[in-house]
């Protein structure tokens, strides 16, 4: 197998991922009425942060791009990257947290569609779980970054 | 199959593409239920309202047990821009919406059939079909029931007032000093509980009428399945050459007004402001979410397809290179 085929994502993908996550975290937290209370929207150029509809739209657009990126990365990993690399434990933890974020996010989107009604308990669960998964992801990503734990590690050759 | 592509690469890439295609056809889970068929709507025939206030009184007395009983003094809140919203000393105010008054009578002096007349209009939550207050509540405190009622759970609401801000009519009203925020970080987050008409959900669950409908001596309001209510509203509108409000506002609401004069005339003539909602045309506030949800279905499929195409292209290129190196 050509090694170029099975390389983990390059720098631009990682930068895009971090940028998108920062946008999603900001606009996600912006769904709580805190940016006006705590003067964030008073910062010149940040008035939009207190507009719930605007931050909601940005969150949806970011989610679409992120889902596209996830689709690409997962497929790329399955088809080629995993031949030479394997997910590390911190990588697996992040993948599970991302699955939690995406799944609860999907139900959040479904709930917002017309003619779709969830039970009150389930609605509250997905609302809080979405926020919870995101908080845990951010803290764990920060911890893994500080301890330099990567997503993948090169497979070592099995001694014959 | 191309001579250039290995069978393994073709199958893998093909499977990825097939997965992308299949994902686009996945049905919605069973937990997702279409609600419109079971939604109840109310019809408010403005012609019949005499402004007696019986509905307002009935609403207050029936829902008294749900009204806030705040603890005073209120916790000091930071930063200083966070204002106390206290209606507990004005709980009998009935000329606007408050946490203690979920329904009020709005007046508009307009010309009806060539004569000046003061119309009286019962106003409360519109109970939208796709309510932004419930969609955008970060805690799930505001929720929509399958029977079309939108309500705010007082034990979960933190009083951030987002529901009021995103509501096209700014209906919910806040009372400070009550609710869950007192047990969390009362100085730093939350500011009480938001209150609004819950269309007597507990009475409706028992098969009773909402108090305002039951108490009305003039039969101004009716409740029933939305399609039937709409049929009746259109029949009345045809008969009186009248106008309908609420059918399409904000994508459709479960409160349908019928009037003998255009709603823009009523809206112009009535007093509007905090606690006194308008009657303007309203665009669907959640339309952006509906449209972008479609993009969210397409995005991962596009990602999978892009990765599969890249894989196949590279595999093909590699096969060509290998063939050049070894022409035999």
In sequence order, the 6+-apart residues with CB closer than 8 A to the CB of B116 are B109, B110
Domain end, chosen from B242, B263, B282, is at B282
Does B243 lie in the same domain as B190? yes
Q: Is residue B24 a part of any domain in this protein? A: no
Nearest Cα of chain A lies from the Cα of B233 at a distance, in angstroms, of 22
Does B157 lie in the same domain as B83? yes
Contact by Cβ (8 Å): B45, B119: no
Cα of first residue to Cα of last residue in chain A, in angstroms, is 20
C-alpha A47/C-alpha A50 separation (Å) is 6
Does B291 lie in the same domain as B187? no
Q: Is residue B30 a part of any domain in this protein? A: no
Mean pLDDT of B102-109: 97
For B181-207, write each residue's pLDDT tens digit: 999 999 999 999 999 999 999 999 999
A126 to chain B, any CB pair closer than 8 A? The answer is yes
Tokens of A7: 């390389």
Q: What is the largest CA-CA distance in chain B?
A: 100
For residue B179, what pLDDT is reported?
Answer: 96
> Is A33 in contact with B160 (Cβ distance < 8 A)?
yes
Instruction: Please give the tally of structural domains in chain B.
Output: 2
C-alpha B198/C-alpha B193 separation (Å) is 14
For B287-303, write each residue's pLDDT tens digit: 999 899 988 999 999 99
Q: Is residue B110 a part of any domain in this protein? A: yes
Nearest Cα residue in chain A from B12: A79
Q: Is residue B294 a part of any domain in this protein? A: yes
Nearest Cα of chain A lies from the Cα of B52 at a distance, in angstroms, of 36
Contact by Cβ (8 Å): A60, A84: no
Q: Is residue B318 a part of any domain in this protein? A: no
Residue B84 burial (10 A CB sphere; 0-12, 13-18, 19+) = middle
Nearest Cα of chain A lies from the Cα of B126 at a distance, in angstroms, of 16
Tokens 């992040």 belong to which residue? A94
Nearest Cα of chain B lies from the Cα of A80 at a distance, in angstroms, of 8
Does B126 lie in the same domain as B96? yes
Q: Is residue B325 a part of any domain in this protein? A: no
CATH number of the domain enclosing B173? 3.30.70.20
A67 to chain B, any CB pair closer than 8 A? The answer is yes
Q: Where are the alpha helices (DSSP H) in B221-286?
A: 226-240, 263-269
Does B306 lie in the same domain as B193? no
By Cβ distance, the residue of B16, B34, B156 closest to A115 is B34
Contact by Cβ (8 Å): A9, A54: no
Contacts of residue A72 in chain B, CB cutoff 8 Å?
303-304, 306-307
Task: Give the best residue of B293, B312, B320 to mutate against chain A (max A CB count within 10 A).
Answer: B293
Does B304 lie in the same domain as B248? no
Q: Is residue B1 a part of any domain in this protein? A: no
Mean pLDDT of B64-74: 95
Task: Give the best residue of B145, B253, B304, B319 to mutate against chain A (max A CB count within 10 A).
Answer: B304
By Cβ distance, the residue of B304, B310, B311 closest to A71 is B304
Mean pLDDT of B35-59: 91
Contacts of residue A32 in chain B, CB cutoff 8 Å?
138, 160, 162
Q: In sequence order, what are the beta bridge partners of B108?
A: B119
- The boundaries of the domain holding residue B164 are 36-282
DSSP for chain A, written as a single string: --GGGGPPP-HHHHHHHHHHHHHHHHHHHTTSTTTTTTTGGGSTT-GGGG-HHHHHHHHHHHHHHHHHHHHHHHHHHHHTGGGTEEE-HHHHHHHHHHHHHHHHHHHHHHHTSTTEE--HHHHHHHHHHHHHHHHHHHHHHHHHHHTT--SEEEPPPPP-
> Is B136 in contact with A69 (Cβ distance < 8 A)?
no
Does B254 lie in the same domain as B107? yes
> Is A33 in contact with B166 (Cβ distance < 8 A)?
no
Does B303 lie in the same domain as B233? no
For residue B202, which of B269, B142, B151 has the smallest C-alpha distance? B151
Does B298 lie in the same domain as B272? no
- Percent with pLDDT over 90 in chain B: 78
For residue A157, what pLDDT is reported?
Answer: 64
Contacts of residue B162 in chain A, CB cutoff 8 Å?
31-33, 52
For residue A154, what pLDDT is reported?
Answer: 84
Task: Give the best residue of A1, A114, A119 to mutate against chain B (max B CB count within 10 A).
Answer: A114
Mean pLDDT of B246-268: 97
Indicate whether B318 pLDDT > 90: no
Q: Is residue B21 a part of any domain in this protein? A: no
A99 to chain B, any CB pair closer than 8 A? The answer is no
Does B213 lie in the same domain as B137? yes
Indicate whether B3 pLDDT > 50: no
Tokens of B268: 């112009």
Contact by Cβ (8 Å): B69, B178: yes
For B71-82, write each residue's pLDDT tens digit: 899 999 999 999
Contact by Cβ (8 Å): B229, B41: yes
For residue A120, what pLDDT is reported?
Answer: 87
pLDDT band at B50 (very low <50, low <70, confident <90, very high): very high
C-alpha B294/C-alpha A63 separation (Å) is 12
Does B41 lie in the same domain as B140? yes
Task: Give the best residue of A79, A107, A110 to mutate against chain B (max B CB count within 10 A).
Answer: A79
> Is B79 in contact with A38 (Cβ distance < 8 A)?
yes
For residue B25, what pLDDT is reported?
Answer: 44
> Is A118 in contact with B189 (Cβ distance < 8 A)?
no
Domain end, chosen from B282, B304, B321, is at B282
Does B208 lie in the same domain as B308? no
**In chain A, domain spans:** 8-85, 87-148
> For every one of its 160 residues, what pLDDT tens digit does chain A have, with 9 covering 90 and above?
445 556 667 788 889 999 999 999 999 999 999 999 999 999 999 999 999 999 999 999 999 999 999 999 999 999 988 888 899 999 999 999 999 999 999 999 999 998 788 888 999 999 999 999 999 999 999 999 899 888 888 887 655 4
Nearest 5°: the CA angle B50, B243, B151 is 70
Q: How many Cβ pairs closer than 8 A exist between chain A and B? A: 164
The mean pLDDT value of chain B amounts to 89
């Amino acid at each position: 197998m050509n090694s170029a085929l099975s390389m983990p994502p390059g720098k631009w993908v990682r930068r895009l991922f971090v940028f998108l996550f920062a946008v999603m975290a900001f606009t996600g937290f912006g769904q709580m009425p805190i940016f006006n209370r705590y003067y964030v929207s008073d910062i010149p150029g940040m008035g939009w942060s207190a507009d719930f509809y605007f931050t909601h739209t940005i969150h949806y657009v970011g989610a679409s791009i992120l889902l596209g990126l996830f689709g690409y990365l997962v497929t790329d990993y399955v088809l080629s990257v995993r031949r030479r690399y394997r997910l590390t434990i911190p990588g697996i933890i992040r993948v599970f947290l991302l699955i939690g974020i995406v799944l609860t996010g999907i139900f959040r989107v479904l709930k917002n569609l017309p003619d779709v009604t969830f039970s009150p308990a389930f609605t509250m669960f997905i609302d809080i779980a979405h926020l919870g998964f995101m908080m845990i992801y951010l803290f764990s990503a920060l911890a893994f970054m500080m301890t330099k734990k990567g997503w993948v590690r090169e497979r070592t050759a099995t001694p014959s | 199959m191309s001579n250039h592509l290995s069978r393994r690469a073709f199958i893998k890439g093909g499977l990825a593409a097939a997965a992308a295609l299949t994902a686009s056809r996945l049905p919605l889970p069973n937990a997702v239920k279409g609600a419109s068929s079971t939604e109840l709507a109310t019809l408010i025939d403005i012609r019949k309202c005499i402004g007696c206030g019986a509905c307002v009184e009935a609403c207050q007395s029936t829902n008294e047990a749900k009204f806030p009983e705040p603890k005073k003094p209120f916790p000091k809140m930071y930063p200083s821009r966070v204002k106390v919203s206290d209606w507990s000393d004005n709980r009998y105010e009935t000329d606007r919406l408050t946490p203690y008054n979920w329904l009020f009578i709005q007046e508009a002096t307009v010309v009806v059939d060539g004569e000046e007349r003061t119309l009286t209009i019962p106003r409360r939550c519109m109970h939208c079909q796709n309510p932004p207050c419930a969609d955008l509540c970060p805690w799930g405190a505001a929720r929509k029931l399958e029977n079309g009622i939108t309500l705010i759970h007082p034990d979960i609401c933190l009083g951030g007032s987002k529901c009021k801000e995103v509501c096209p009519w700014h209906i919910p009203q806040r009372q400070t000093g009550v609710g869950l925020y007192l047990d969390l970080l009362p100085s730093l987050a939350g500011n009480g509980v938001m209150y609004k008409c819950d269309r007597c959900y507990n009475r409706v669950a028992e098969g009773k009428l909402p108090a305002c409908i039951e108490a009305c001596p003039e039969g101004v309001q009716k409740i029933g399945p939305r399609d039937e209510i709409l049929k009746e509203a259109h029949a009345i509108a045809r008969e009186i050459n009248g106008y309908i409000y609420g059918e399409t506002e904000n994508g459709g609401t479960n409160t349908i007004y019928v009037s003998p004069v255009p709603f823009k005339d009523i809206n112009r003539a009535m007093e509007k402001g905090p606690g006194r909602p308008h009657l303007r045309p309203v665009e669907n506030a959640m339309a952006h979410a509906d449209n972008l949800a479609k993009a969210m279905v397409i995005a991962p499929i596009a990602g999978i397809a892009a990765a599969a195409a890249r894989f196949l292209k590279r595999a093909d290129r590699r096969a060509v290179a290998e063939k050049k190196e070894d022409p035999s």
